[in-house]
């Protein structure tokens, strides 16, 4: 797990549990069953903090630690449930990618914190808004053709964070079809593809 996460990457974190019932108890049960099935395939384990909380998953893919969990983020008056996947990556790069279209902009005070923690916005021709404390490093990594190609598969994600040897993918959760084991393994293949692309420039 990342030793230091720029907290404003997630917005305002809230505990997923008693306070969040949008998707219903039965959906949580289905997600837990999906994660249990994934655990059999990916040398992992599924769990949840209590019977009504959203499940989490920990396992391994492509020789990397994998962690999948849910969190809510607050943006102005909107609460959003996000599905987050975290993988190990052999890279010292530090940057954040924010979805250009559909991403709910942070509150002004959080935008200030975001810039302080992850750096200014950079003009790099990829399908995301880019922020990094090291503009030269981010430019080099994100200009590599394999990375540019792999990022084309990542546009559904509202945020991608590469930091401290980890990569996190966060997207608004659109329903239990996303945690179907067959569907999620295809999703993981795209994530691993981006990892390999970034690592190719080491």
Domain ranges of the chain: 7-199
| C-alpha distance from residue 45 to each of 37, 57, 58, 59, 191 (Å) | 9, 6, 5, 6, 20
The DSSP-derived string for 89-123 is -S----EEEEESSS--PPPHHHHHHHHHHH--EE-
The end-to-end CA distance of the chain, in Å, is 21
Map tokens 């940057």 to a residue: 95
The whole-angstrom separation of Cα 23 and Cα 71 is: 13
3-62: per-residue pLDDT in tens? 445 544 544 334 433 444 444 777 889 999 999 999 999 989 999 988 888 999 999 999
60-70: per-residue pLDDT in tens? 999 999 999 99
SS3 of 137-158: the string is HHHHHHCCHHHHHHHCCCCCCC
């Amino acid at each position: 797990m990342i030793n230091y996460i720029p907290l404003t990457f997630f917005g305002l974190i809230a505990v997923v549990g008693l306070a969040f019932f949008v998707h219903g108890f039965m959906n949580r049960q289905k997600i837990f069953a999906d994660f249990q099935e994934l655990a059999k395939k990916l040398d992992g384990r599924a769990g949840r903090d209590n019977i009504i909380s959203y499940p989490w998953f920990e396992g391994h893919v492509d020789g990397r630690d994998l962690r999948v969990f849910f969190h809510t983020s607050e943006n102005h008056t909107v609460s959003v449930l996000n599905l987050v996947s975290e993988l190990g990556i052999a890279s010292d790069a530090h940057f954040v990618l924010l979805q250009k279209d559909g991403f709910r902009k942070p509150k002004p005070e959080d935008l200030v914190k975001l810039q302080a923690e992850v750096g200014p916005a950079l003009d790099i021709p990829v399908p995301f808004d880019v922020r990094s404390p090291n503009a030269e490093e981010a430019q080099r990594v994100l200009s590599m053709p394999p990375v540019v190609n792999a990022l084309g598969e990542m546009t559904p994600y509202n945020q991608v964070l590469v930091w401290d040897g980890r990569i996190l993918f966060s997207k608004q959760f659109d329903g239990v079809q996303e945690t179907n084991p067959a569907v999620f393994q295809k999703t993981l293949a795209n994530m691993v593809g981006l990892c390999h692309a970034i690592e190719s420039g080491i």
